[in-house]
Structure 1
Amino acid sequence: MEKKVNPEIKEIFSHMPEVIYTQENLVAKRNEMYEMFAGIAGSLPINDAVLTSEKHIPGANGDPDVRIKIYEPRVKDEILPGVLYIHGGGYILGSADMMDPTLQQLVSEINCVIVSVDYRLAPEHPFPAPLEDCYAALNWFSENAEELGVDSTRIAVVGPSAGGGLTAAVSLLARDRKGPSIFFQMPLYPMIDDRNMTKSSNEITDERVWNKTKNQLAWKMYLGEIGEVSQYAAPARATDLSGLPPTYTCVGDLDPFRDETIDYVLRLTQAGVPTEFHLYPGCFHGFEEYFPAAEISQSIVIGYHTALKRALHK
């Protein structure tokens, strides 16, 4: 794989450590991740232009309350669009708190209000718990849009990796439950197919990045003991993609999710959903988070920020 890595990031990639997840070391790996992101956040200047708060909102019937974080401009001169943000982490890692600097910057760049969902994680809370938490947050956001200074007809759903899988699933669920209208969806390099039957899902085995082994383990934890896997658990299984929101997505060509993303884009387009897609050569899963200063990383971030801004402010 190393030979194929984009020349700009190849040297740094060669020094990346291997990361191996097991069910036994998962809690320790979560804590390592939280500490790393807390260190990054602590080294950055405070963004005084953005207000950050948190709430606990009602979950689905019988479920516990859902913690959300709200990011909004300190000064609002108009009714703004909204973004429901769903963090990544393979359905088993991550938290809303890790995304503070990223989402504060996004508020400033896009001029929007963001609600970020701190959904429950597998394996402690397998499907459908994470999805129901995200859908509850979408409902709450839509119902409380006016109070937040948000136009309820201009709410996008955005997320990378497993957050992209949940983005795609929330869009399907909102369509089928006749729930809140989603204006735009942006599932970035989404984790949407549990079957691991594509070439890309089997050819990426390097332990420095998200690979076949990690993917299989994460899907096993997320799906738990369910028998038949539904389209809401793995959106690549959906047979009807009509009526979904306009979509932007992207993926690197060294990402296990390359082929399932390309297939999803093809089928969205065939279903009449306006869709924009970008493939980044020599790039592995989540590369822009590892090497934010690299030109190729800035290119992908500018690409999806521009698409989101264009969609929400057109």
Structure 2
Amino acid sequence: MTRRIVTLFAAGALGLAGAAPAWAEGELNIYNWGNYTNPELIEKFEKAYDVDVTLDGYDSNETMLAKVKEGGTGYDIVVPGDYMIKIMIEQGLLAEIKPNEMENFEHMDPKWVDVWWDPGRNYSVPWQWGTTSFTVDTEVFKGDDIHTLALLFEPPEELQGRINMLNDMNDVINAGLRYLGYERCNGNVEELKEVTELLLNAKQHWRTMDYSTIEKLTSGDVDISQNWNGAAMRARAQRPTLQYAYPKEGFTGWMDNVAVLADAPNMENAKLFVNFIMAPENAALISNFARYANGIAGSEEFMDPEMLTAPEIVMPADAPAPDFVRPCPQETVDMYNKIWTRLKQ
């Protein structure tokens, strides 16, 4: 997913006769990651329920959280990552809308119901899920093995100065911890010092730290970038020599989830949208645009055929299992923040 801020104002359309109850009209305001929402999905929802949808974009979970905590945003729907759902529930920022009692909940893949960030799904439903690793141009890098984080932290000469890292504290630091063989969120001071040295030494070889990974890769600005698997697939469509890596040291797994803000001004329309995206054909619209898997059973039959075989979506049998990182203790977050501040200087 290209975490680039974009804003789409989708125009309302006339409702379909008999498609919705009388109260299904008015507005819905969505706050989602940039370049991550299929306009066809929004148009379909608008036409079905006679609702005008406004879509604004953010570039990180932390940006979204800071905005929401200010209050009075006017947003109804947000799409936090797994760990951020947990944080927002604990802070009372999300409405307990009970998706598990909605009509289309029967389509939810059972493996995504009792998740650690929202057990039983009382607050959220899946939007997309995937992995965070990196993409490299195999025409530039001639080595036999791309499946190692060494390409980011101790790059060969042909990749030096041609690397983009995500502008994301957790993704960068956790990748460094994996490369050194250390656990995430352990708060070990000596290990974090070692990670800091690794990152500072590697930074001299990084060209940029940016969420716009598709643009960076397809423009030729860089030849390797930390990346999400769906964004990697979209970039490969324009630059066929790109390949998505599954590093032996490990990589992040994540799920973005649709949730409703506790102070949503259009609560009933927000609930309608949550139920709407659990329909398999609508979940497939999301996947066909963003190029990630979703948590809705039966959506595969509505997906573009290449989604079912793409190497960025179908992991190799010998790849390590994705690492779904839980929120770190606050003292560890504080140490991460200090490392990140030094790295960004």
* TM-score relative to the length of structure 1: 0.27
**Which structure has the larger Rg?**
2
Q: Select the structure that is richer in helix.
A: 1
The structure showing larger relative contact order (alpha-carbon pairs under 8 Å, at least 6 residues apart) is: 2
* TM-score relative to the length of structure 2: 0.25
